[in-house]
Structure 1
Amino acid sequence: MEWVRTLAVVVGGVLLLWLVLLALLWRARTDELTARTALRLLPDVVRLVRRLAADGSLPRGVRVRLWLLLGYLLMPIDLVPDFIPVLGYADDVIVVAWTLRSVTRRAGAGALARHWPGEPGGLALVSRLAGVPPAGAPRG
């Protein structure tokens, strides 16, 4: 039954990370951000990171940073332990934002827009978080 507890902790952690990400991003939201777009943001960001990491046209250093980010998020040991309410997952959100900012400054806003799987409002918010002007938002 230890696996059930582990699964519950992982699911709870992902849910809490999602809520913290929503709260931080809602605070920095743009006018285009709807509630529906906000709810889709975490899955879209995860797909964005995976797509960027797999893009062979991006510089190797950028792809390495993204794979390291995915590894960090999967690691059970964090800068702030995940069992600490809110703060435990806030460090993950900060690491994601910092990495996206670094990646988009090197790869450009075009790469972000090219791989964005969600709605334009979500792309505008993620672009703002990454510190770059939003580009057109292809859907797909």
Structure 2
Amino acid sequence: MKEEEQKQDNLPVVRPVTEVIAIELPEKHQRFYDKLRAKIEAFIREKGVNEKTAGYILLAPDLFVLLARLMLDKRVGVQSKAVAGLAVAYFISPVDFLPEAFIGGVGLLDDVILSVYALRRILADVDESIVREHWNGEEDVLGVITKVITEADNLVGQKIVAKLKDILRRK
């Protein structure tokens, strides 16, 4: 997608990353991240989830950690912290549109979609360099946001996407 098309669709503009910043997670966070990622990978292997869907599900730990870090960053405004907090709470809550307790790792898709919509909203107020600083995913964070938003309807359906957007509108 070209830069002009991204702007028209209200998506973040993906630019090449000029410098990769290695982020060291505190041991407690690393353990949580590793456990969550291992659990998701085991679910994917066990259930034979297709590669495309698996790629989206595997974004969950990276997005969760990013949002948690943004909540703690003093450079992030109160409104953006509230949006990040809402997304983190949705991740943690057992009550959501695709509950993991009943459908396993595929239930993380709505969490991933809500997270990227929250990040898009956060990026309206927070410099992208701050968001990139906290991102430890393999792909460019703005590219991830664009990719997930573009595929959201196909991943969970228009009705669920509309409900997820509505959650953020109320915030």
TM-score interval, normalised by the smaller of the two chains: 0.5 to 0.7
Contact kept? 1:109, 1:127, Cα under 8 Å: no
Mapped pair 1:75 → 2:100: no
1:112 Cα deviation after fit: 1.2
- Equivalence for 1:113: 132
Mapped pair 1:15 → 2:9: no
1:72 Cα deviation after fit: 1.2
Gap runs ≥5 in structure 2: 1-35, 150-171
For residue 50 of structure 1, what is the amino acid of its counterpart?
A
- Equivalence for 1:44: 62
Q: How does 1:26-45 map to 2 (within 5 A)?
A: 41-45=59-63
Q: Distance in 1 between matches of 2:123 and 2:111?
A: 18
For residue 119 of structure 2, what is the amino acid of its counterpart?
L
Aligned with 1:76: secondary structure?
Answer: coil
Aligned with 2:123: secondary structure?
Answer: helix
Q: Distance in 2 between matches of 1:77 and 1:118?
A: 26
Aligned with 1:106: secondary structure?
Answer: coil
Listed one character per residue, the Cα deviations across residues 45-88 of structure 1 (whole Å, up to 9, x for unaligned) are 33221211101121101001111211111111102333246763
**After the TM superposition, which parts of structure 1 deviate over 4 Å for at least 4 consecutive aligned residues?**
24-27
C-alpha distance 48-88 of structure 1, shift in aligned 2 (>3 A): closer
Counterpart pick for 1:94 among 98, 113, 121: 113
For residue 116 of structure 2, what is the amino acid of its counterpart?
A
Mapped pair 1:128 → 2:128: no
Gap runs ≥5 in structure 1: 1-10, 28-38, 132-140
Aligned with 1:107: secondary structure?
Answer: coil
Q: Distance in 2 between matches of 1:64 and 1:43?
A: 19
Count residues in correspondence.
107
Contact kept? 2:64, 2:91, Cα under 8 Å: no
For residue 69 of structure 2, what is the amino acid of its counterpart?
R
1:15 Cα deviation after fit: 1.2
